[in-house]
Structure 1
């Protein structure tokens, strides 16, 4: 194969050694095969690039002009040429036209060699590092290929080792730093460019450098991105063309990459999702899956429900968050489930202070601006669905009753959860104590406030002094009211179940 080049790549290559008077770019998208040395008197053929002395060029009119030709003219081109839709590069007079022609041939040789290296890398399955090497030579800047988990698939050795790229230093597992990920996921421009199919420029707020980027697509989804960091050499317009021209190779390398990384071990994530979805999973499968992770059926767990923000969903950072959590805590598994994240901590295998783990988790959640709910401790992963519901309920109720707090535990809201579940099963009025309904009716007919009096009595644990004070009435008045209330409702307030039913009724009323 021979690589084709567009006029801007040719112009930028020639400008290194020649003084160019001007360039007329009619079409920067059209790419040319190797140039022809124009022979005086010959006709110009469409879709070709010619090196010619301007004095040798044939006369042209608008009707005679072949389409998509490019002229590298030695000397000022004829006036009619500059008026036509032609790509023209005008070089000041040179002694030997062959030197320009040979220079262009060498430019094509260089890019043919780059293309040959990419083809050879595919044949020998050398991986993404071949792309990195070729791109470093073309663009003269450090290069990285990053997947949607913000994990470096490959990168230039200098990346992270220069002052300009120090903030992009990979962690020990090859991931981009967390602060970089948190920065870009809230950047609307970063999210918008995720849809681009061609090369584009993106300004990184962390390094403040310009990045020439190309999204890698697989089955209609963006799966990775090539990033070239403008730290050594300024980007040129021709670089956009070259990036797009080499795009098919990048995608072929990705296809080869995923093919070589296919594996089918028993997946804990898959098994847990099967249970969460209500599918039957045998004890043997679960036990073997746990053993692959050096876990046991009898281990104790706690489940966190992590709610992704809209920014996380747009920037597709869920996989990165999961990977970051599993890197930080080797005794956990995390996976995306129903557009949010399930984090399962094996407390038995934690081997350290659980309170420290909890505080570290909350710190990570806060730094990543993630809202979370936590289940109670449990054993037996066949019951994970119940504890998943606990964690979801903790976050839902926490958001309702304490919206300014980002982390909630089911323990805080277990009673509220019980009440709300009861309320969802039947109309609240059908669950209230009958005496409470009688008291409401009496208050309505007689303009009294006995319902409020009884509620204060129960709330203050049957302490008449405190209850009376809360209503701003005398204790004697309060006791008289309670005597009348007992006659109206005909309840024995010394009975535990009766009082419990009344208190639950009042709590349901408050929801």
Structure 2
């Protein structure tokens, strides 16, 4: 296996006081080392030469891509530094010891390549591939799947037994991961991910059908930009891709099949017998909430698989899938109050960090009615963004009356429902500091109680009586009639909603 200057230098300096000169190549182009022979006046391309400074010729012909490993310093090295890469070992050390060290480096990489190929001729797992690579990189290596779950790591203690396995990447780290890639999951090849004060070597993984299947990453060594080992990391990533194709890593849970059943229900398609059995089993688990998740910003669109994994981790038992460019979730409702408060707090942080907006339905138990309660969640978002745009979580119960009032208007404009004289009240209010509509609204809300209404309006009772007489006369309605009172209340509520929408 060929190596490059950066790889050899990083490993030589573990044993010797060494300095690298020249511009190293990122390509793996260097053949195994050879001893420099006296009187040789040509250094061949892509060769590694080991020499002591006393035996170097003054001006040999140096071809492109030469690496000279030199023991000892001298002014004549300037000629070599201008034409080749030079690893200078400053102190006098054993010449053959350095040569054996170089050979050991090459042997280690050759053995690694052979072991990887041997593993892949069988049914090796991605975990085995990472464990094989750990002695080469000598730092923890992690593997995420397409849902950003940890599925393998080396050494194995990085997974904390099996407890860390299947956990999604922490939110802060994931957002850094996205920023590093400019929110792109189709980036190919080696790249460096910055996460606060740490840097990681990363390569995205793809299937043979060019589908994103995960990411391989490891922390960079100190004072290293990672470019020297970029091809090694890419080589390892390619081996992992092959292992995942041979032995796919699958999460053992029922959520994918349950999501498919609910998706079929949303499409109003018939269920198979086995699907109906599974749906009946879900009905026995209690009540549910339906949530709809929207992106508030175009550039904040996160992979659906990651959102499903993250929300699923917040509330076990939830089922989530994509529907009409939103994320639809069915959330178990029969949780304790403490669990609900904890979930509310976690979701509040989630929607803030990810620029999301969530609509929540009322509780229900019949999953065949999922479309109805999804419509509730959508209506909650629609009303919430109009009436409480600063909030990110909207519950249908908070906007049920608004939705009912708006829908009650039907195909007619609001003016078509004005009773006789109602327009005159609007005209009066537009030209006066005294609002007849506000007076009427408070009077109706207080169930026609003059005492309660006068207290709310800060009016003397006699003043309110006089004002209500003028309003009734103008409207030509009987405020003792419950139907007429209800019509006026609906109309006043509709006007209030219209004014709020115009104010937005």
TM-score tier by shorter-chain length is: 0.7 to 0.9
| Candidates 25, 31, 42, aligned match of 1:28 | 25
**For residues 309 and 404 of structure 2, what CA distance do their matches in structure 1 show?**
34
CA contact (8 A) 1:335 1:342 kept: yes
Structural mapping, 1:261-340, within 5 Å: 261=248, 267-276=257-266, 279-284=267-272, 288=275, 291=278, 294-296=281-283, 300-307=287-294, 313=300, 316=303, 319-326=305-312, 331-338=317-324, 340=326
CA contact (8 A) 1:302 1:375 kept: yes
CA contact (8 A) 2:6 2:229 kept: no
Question: Quick one: structure 1 residues 289 and 313, their matched pair in 2 at CA, closer, same or farther if it must change by over 3 Å?
Answer: farther
TM-score (normalised: structure 1): 0.78
Indicate the residue corresponding to 2:373 in structure 1: 387
| Candidates 472, 478, 492, aligned match of 2:478 | 492
Question: CA-to-partner distance for each residue in 1:229-284, whole Å, 9 max, x for gaps?
Answer: 57xxx5464965335323133234234325533889982223433444xx341033
**For residues 41 and 446 of structure 1, what CA distance do their matches in structure 2 show?**
106
Shift of 1:288: 1.4
Indicate the residue corresponding to 1:12 in structure 2: 10
**For residues 66 and 230 of structure 2, what CA distance do their matches in structure 1 show?**
23
Shift of 1:414: 0.6
What SS does the corresponding residue of 1:5 show, helix, strand or coil?
coil
Structure 1: gaps of 5 or more residues:
161-167
Structure 2: gaps of 5 or more residues:
498-504
Question: Quick one: structure 1 residues 96 and 483, their matched pair in 2 at CA, closer, same or farther if it must change by over 3 Å?
Answer: closer
What SS does the corresponding residue of 1:376 show, helix, strand or coil?
coil
Shift of 1:105: 2.1
CA contact (8 A) 1:8 1:237 kept: no
Indicate the residue corresponding to 2:502 in structure 1: none
Question: Quick one: structure 1 residues 322 and 104, their matched pair in 2 at CA, closer, same or farther if it must change by over 3 Å?
Answer: same
What SS does the corresponding residue of 2:25 show, helix, strand or coil?
coil
| Candidates 90, 94, 111, aligned match of 1:113 | 111
TM-score (normalised: structure 2): 0.79
Question: Quick one: structure 1 residues 303 and 509, their matched pair in 2 at CA, closer, same or farther if it must change by over 3 Å?
Answer: same
Question: Quick one: structure 1 residues 158 and 282, their matched pair in 2 at CA, closer, same or farther if it must change by over 3 Å?
Answer: closer
Shift of 1:374: 2.0
CA contact (8 A) 2:358 2:381 kept: yes
Structural mapping, 1:67-466, within 5 Å: 67-75=64-72, 76=74, 78=76, 81-82=79-80, 84-91=82-89, 99-157=97-155, 159=157, 169=160, 172=163, 174-176=165-167, 181-185=170-174, 187=176, 191-193=179-181, 197-200=189-192, 202-203=194-195, 210=198, 212-218=200-206, 223-229=213-219, 235=222, 237=224, 240-258=227-245, 260-261=247-248, 267-276=257-266, 279-284=267-272, 288=275, 291=278, 294-296=281-283, 300-307=287-294, 313=300, 316=303, 319-326=305-312, 331-338=317-324, 340-346=326-332, 355=337, 358-369=340-351, 372-402=358-388, 407-422=393-408, 425-441=411-427, 449-466=435-452
